[in-house]
Amino acid sequence: MVNGEHERIEELLAGYALLALSGEDAIEADRLLSEHVPSCPMCRDTLAGFQSVAGELALAPSPVAPPELMLPRLRRQLEHVSGRRRRATLVAAAAGVIALVTLSGLSMSLASRASKAEHAKVQLSDFVGTLQQPGASSVSLTSMDRSSPGMVEVSGPGFERMYIVGRDVPEPAPGHAYQLWLGSGGTFVPVGDMFLPEDGLVYIRLTFDPRPYDEILITEEAIGSRMSAPSRDGHVWHASLTGAA
Amino acid sequence: MHEEDRLDLELHRRLGSGDRAAFEDLYRRYAPPAYALALRVTGQDALAQEVVHDSFLALWRTPEAYDAARGPFRTFFLSLVHHRAVDAVRREERLRKRAERASNLEPRTGEDVADEIVEDAYLVERRREIREALQTLPPDQRRVVELAYFGGYTQARIAEELGIPVGTVKTRTLAAMRKLRRALYRED
Ligand SMILES: [Zn+2]
């Protein structure tokens, strides 16, 4: 590989280390990282160097004490997530659940640094892999107004994850987004960030055990509104979880 | 290896056997810089809290994600926090266009008053070196690095923001990263 080309690769690696690539550049970087960098000592060294710099930059802001409640909340959760050593005990506090939620697929995950298409592939195999596990069960979320297609929820006993997948999901009204709720005995708590379908697709992965809950609801809520109870104004999907676990 | 890095390594090793005291030691050490970073990137308390909380939980769940051969624990963990913060802010961006984002790039007033936080001298010293290295960059170069790293902006977005070609953003970024690398890892 000639020098001019290495200069270009270095440019990509610098942007990559700062998580600043998008579009063609991100795809190109992914290709380089799998095809060229592993076998090129010069690029390996450059990448490692730039990633160290990025790691160091993290220290630049002056330290700020996190809220005092954070550590106690973490302590409570350590009990429940002793790694893979003790799997999937119940998550007790709703507040804890919210923080554990990860929403992926709606924005490109930076974790994989993969192109959109590749990322979708990873999600799909993750999802299908879960479906194939013994004990996995799926529940259909039905549209309350019956005009929208349903979504499906997959979980199983002992799983730490629950998935919600939908396609041809309509765009919410302007200024609105979708919100997931988990219900127990008729009381609902909002879970995770609001989300929007991407090209009609919804893919949500929740990392916790859904067993304490008996209902799932997805509603359309005004962005920035203070949500105390699910709104029934827009599209609503619903599923009962009893008997699913 | 620096003495403090060695201590981190030992604490990290103990995480592998589910040692909660080791976890709390690492929390005490890294929660303040992690929270400061997440705040700087997201500009929102709630989002920053979620990022830091999730990062520590991820550390507890999968301590083996850190490979000591690839550098100090500190840069690994704070990179993880950075990743999650950028992820969170981009996710948020899709929901809510934040016109006032740019103001978050400047340190929030009060952020520099690090009250009640007693940090290891080593971290304080390293922070000074990093800031110094940033300060020595030409302003044009520093700007693109800060927008990317602390603003969570893509290079395409930075080009738009500054009204310059993406190629220029790339050139400045590379020049800046090379200088920072030399400044932070000079042989001495
Ligand atoms: Zn190379």
Radius of gyration of chain B (CA): 17
Minimum distance, in Å, between the CA of residue B65 and any CA atom of chain A: 12
Residues of chain B with pLDDT under 70: 94-116, 187-188
pLDDT at A129: 65
ipTM of the complex: 0.89
pLDDT at A110: 29
Domain B3-100 maps to which CATH number in 3.90.180.10, 1.10.10.10, 1.10.1740.10, 3.90.1200.10?
1.10.1740.10
Residues of chain A with pLDDT under 70: 1-3, 80-140, 142, 144-163, 167-168, 199, 205-212, 241-245
Minimum distance, in Å, between the CA of residue B2 and any CA atom of chain A: 15
B110-184 classified as CATH 1.20.1250.20 = no
Residues 6+ apart with CB under 8 A from A186: none
pLDDT at B115: 55
Pick from A55, A67, A81: CB nearest B71: A55
Helices (H), A23-181: 23-35, 41-57, 70-80, 94-100, 116-131
In the three-class reduction of DSSP (H, G, I as helix; E, B as strand; rest coil), residue A2 is classed as coil
Chain B residues touching residue A22 (CB < 8 angstroms): 154-157
pLDDT at A233: 76
* CATH code 1.10.10.10 region(s) in chain B: 110-184
Q: Does A25 touch chain B (CB under 8 A)?
A: yes
Residue in this structure with the two tokens 């001298």, named with its chain if needed: B121
Going from the Cα of A20 to the center of ligand 1, the distance in angstroms, rounded, reads: 20
The pLDDT tens digits for B14-67 are 998 889 999 999 999 999 999 999 999 999 899 999 999 999 998 998 888 888
Give the start-to-end residue ranges of the domains of chain A. Answer: 3-57, 88-240
Query: CA-CA distance, A176 to A178, in Å (whole number)?
Result: 7
Give me the sheet containing A151-155, strands edge to edge: A101-102, A202-207, A161-166, A151-155, A137-143, A236-240, A215-222, A176-184, A187-195
Q: Which tokens sit at A216?
A: 């799932």
pTM equals 0.62
Q: Which tokens sit at A227?
A: 């949500």
User: Which residues lie near ion ligand 1 (Cβ < 5 Å)?
Assistant: A 40, 42-43
Chain B residues touching residue A67 (CB < 8 angstroms): 45, 49
pLDDT at A174: 74
Going from the Cα of A7 to the center of ligand 1, the distance in angstroms, rounded, reads: 9
Burial class from Cβ neighbours inside 10 Å (0-12, 13-18, 19+) for residue A215 reads: middle
The pLDDT tens digits for A18-51 are 999 999 999 999 899 988 998 999 999 999 999 9
* CATH code 1.10.1740.10 region(s) in chain B: 3-100
Query: CA-CA distance, B132 to A60, in Å (whole number)?
Result: 10
pLDDT at A182: 80
